[in-house]
Amino acid sequence: MTYALVNPALMTWSRRRAGLSAADLAASIPVKEDKLLAWEAGASQPTFRQAQQWAILAHIPFGYLFLEEPPREELPLPDLRTIGGMPPQKPSINLLDTVRSVLIKHEWYLDYLKEQGAAPLPFVGRFSLGASIADVVADIRAVLALDGSHQPANQDEYLRQLISGADAAGILVMRSGIVGTNTHRKLDVGEFRGFAISDRYAPVVFVNAADAPAARLFTLVHELAHIWIGSSGISSVSPLASRQEEMFCNAVAGEFLVPEVDFSRVWKPEEEWRQQVLRLRSVFHVSRLVIARRACDLGLISREDYTQYYIAALNEFRAEEKKGGSFYRTAGAKNGKRFSRAVLSETLSGRLLLRDAGKLLGMQPSKVRSFAERVDE
């Protein structure tokens, strides 16, 4: 039997990094807990198969177990989540792996665009932080071809309309609530709600789909605002955000979805705010949560009231969240229509192997052709 001469310190580091107890990891490999602890103490070694299982369960490359010391892990994008001057907590492995996965797709897409001879997108970084909020909002609307002639019936239609406009403009819009296809690795909305990659050729917006649907609408516009000011980074989209970029993008999202002039005209200080939220959602064609967020940002309700309202909405969504759904529709949202079409075009033309297309899209190679037939669902 061949044993793997792994570094015991890396075994302990990787287990703790993944948030796994010795008992849980031992049960999954499976071995007795005492044996696993002996590996970590350096008293014995796992077999190669056991070490490979360890790496899979701990979400690390197999080679990490042979390093002399743990690798330095930092977010490859700026972290904009500072609140009240306090730095955010160390990023989780779920956040790190999600960002890395999107960056791999972004790199491939950039190479694809170069081969196509694509031109830079003029709206990326068009404004600075000193720009007028109204000017940024108007420009986003113009680029997304939202002329106001068609009012969305509800928040779902509004979200689809915005994503479709962004996709047509050249922006990669990706949405997921899990890491890859692993439903056991859920993204935490308390850690981040989205991020943006402000690239002149291939801007990317990622929205954490583990959030309440109504909150995703605000996050999408917030991240689009990052593209317009040329700012990449991880966002919490919190009303308490203290970084200038985050406050600016919050203001753009609020004005985009619920213009202050119109809102002030219909808000009645004498009316109970929860009742007003219900009344005004039909006026602005957005959800009650977006209305509550706007009232909070304008100082009409307290941040504490909004936070409680948001948590209740998030818990309600989680309680009603349906499992399953269309695999291909989920894959389309996770990868974005624009990225998916590019990968499928290269695959069906024979320039990209099915194996490589499957890796980029996060699916078995055997499903790629079926996905090509249903990508526009």
**pTM of the entire structure?**
0.88
Rounded distance between C-alpha atoms, residue 332 and residue 118, angstroms: 23
Burial class (CB in 10 A: 0-12, 13-18, 19+), 146: middle
DSSP letter at 76 equals: S
User: What pLDDT does residue 151 have?
Assistant: 67
331 touches 372 (CB < 8 A): no
For residue 111, pLDDT beyond 70: yes
User: Residues of the chain with pLDDT > 90: what percent?
Assistant: 72
The H-or-E segment that residue 250 falls in is helix 244-257
Digit-coded pLDDT (tens) for 199-229: 999 999 999 999 888 889 999 999 999 999 9
Q: Are strands 233-235 and 194-197 parallel, antiparallel or unpaired?
A: antiparallel
User: What pLDDT does residue 148 have?
Assistant: 63
Mean pLDDT within 57-74: 92
For residue 3, pLDDT beyond 70: yes
Rounded distance between C-alpha atoms, residue 287 and residue 66, angstroms: 51
For residue 182, pLDDT beyond 60: yes
User: What pLDDT does residue 328 have?
Assistant: 83
144 touches 162 (CB < 8 A): yes
Burial readout 246-284 (b: 16 or more C-beta within 10 A, e: otherwise): bebbbbbbbbbbbebeebeeebeeeeebeebbeebbeeb
User: What pLDDT does residue 194 have?
Assistant: 96
CA distances to 222, 305, 310, 369 from 257, in Å: 10, 20, 17, 38
Residue with the two structure tokens 């955010």: 88
Would you state the structure tokens that stand for residue 109, as one six-digit string?
A: 């897409």
For residue 324, pLDDT beyond 60: no
Mean pLDDT within 103-107: 97
User: What pLDDT does residue 325 have?
Assistant: 61
The pLDDT confidence band at residue 231, using thresholds 50, 70 and 90, is: very high
User: What pLDDT does residue 149 have?
Assistant: 58
Mean pLDDT within 271-297: 90
The pLDDT confidence band at residue 260, using thresholds 50, 70 and 90, is: very high
Mean pLDDT within 335-348: 96
Rounded distance between C-alpha atoms, residue 222 and residue 205, angstroms: 10
For residue 139, pLDDT beyond 80: yes
| β-bridge mates for residue 372, sequence order | none
- Respond yes or no on whether the N-terminal peptide bond of residue 30 is cis (omega within 30° of 0): yes
The pLDDT confidence band at residue 251, using thresholds 50, 70 and 90, is: very high
Q: At what angle do helices 288-297 and 273-284 cross, to 10 degrees?
A: 110
Digit-coded pLDDT (tens) for 38-50: 999 999 999 999 9
User: What pLDDT does residue 190 have?
Assistant: 86
171 touches 109 (CB < 8 A): no
Q: How many other C-beta atoms are found inside a 10 Å radius of the C-beta of residue 351?
A: 10
Q: How many other C-beta atoms are found inside a 10 Å radius of the C-beta of residue 3?
A: 13
Digit-coded pLDDT (tens) for 141-176: 999 998 765 667 677 888 999 999 999 999 999 999
Please report the DSSP string for 38-72 in residue order.
HHHHTSS--BHHHHHHHHHHTTS-GGGGGSSSPPP
Nearest to 28 by CA among 68, 48, 57: 57
Mean pLDDT within 55-62: 93
User: What pLDDT does residue 322 have?
Assistant: 61
CA distances to 35, 77, 179, 254 from 91, in Å: 31, 11, 14, 27
Which residue ranges form the domains of the chain, and what is each CATH number? 8-66 (1.10.260.40), 93-320 (no CATH), 328-374 (no CATH)
Average pLDDT, the chain: 91
User: What pLDDT does residue 226 have?
Assistant: 98
Rounded distance between C-alpha atoms, residue 153 and residue 304, angstroms: 30
Residue with the two structure tokens 């309202």: 309
User: What pLDDT does residue 370 have?
Assistant: 93
